[in-house]
Amino acid sequence: MAILNILHYPDERLHTVAKPVKQFDARLKQLAADMAETMYVAPGIGLAATQVNVHERLIVVDISETKDKLQILVNPEIIEMDGKTKSEEGCLSVPGIYEEVERAEHIVVKAFDETGKELRIEATGLLAICIQHEIDHLDGKVFVEKLSRLKLNRILQKLKKNQRQTM
């Protein structure tokens, strides 16, 4: 397995809309394994292929405390959503930034695992939020872009300042 490089906002590649996965092969399984390892090391609870500059519809999620409940979702699609909830979100592509975002409280997702087996997942709470966040990445969207223009500008200034300090 390998640790992959995570793109950081405002990298334009994060706005690339991911293409559906068509082949369920060894390459896909390896990519999912590498993404999971990258997510755990980062550390995070979700990672979309877009964030590692692979523009295919693949996400990995593990919201468990023990980090042993990995879910691999290929071509995930939200088929039902209802309710509203607000919670603080962070993102491996926007390090150090945490903001409150409104999302659906309950979702039903249709997807496939890395072998091509169809899955149907009903999610609420943190899992629902995480899956919506990662699917946004596949659609070329980053959570900070859901915020007001003022907040987004402040975040961009902070990210630029942090980048200058690490150089």
Q: Which positions are annotated as active-site residues?
A: 134
Question: CA-to-CA distance for 102 and 68, rounded, in angstroms?
Answer: 28
Handedness of CA 97, 14, 152, 156 (dihedral sign): positive
The alpha carbon dihedral of 8, 145, 157, 92 has a sign of: negative
User: DSSP secondary structure string, 127-167?
Assistant: HHHHHHHHHHHHTT--GGGGS-HHHHHHHHHHHHHHHHHH-
d(CA 147, CA 157): 15
Single-letter amino acid, residue 25: D
HSE (side-chain half, CA atoms, 13 Å) at 154: 9
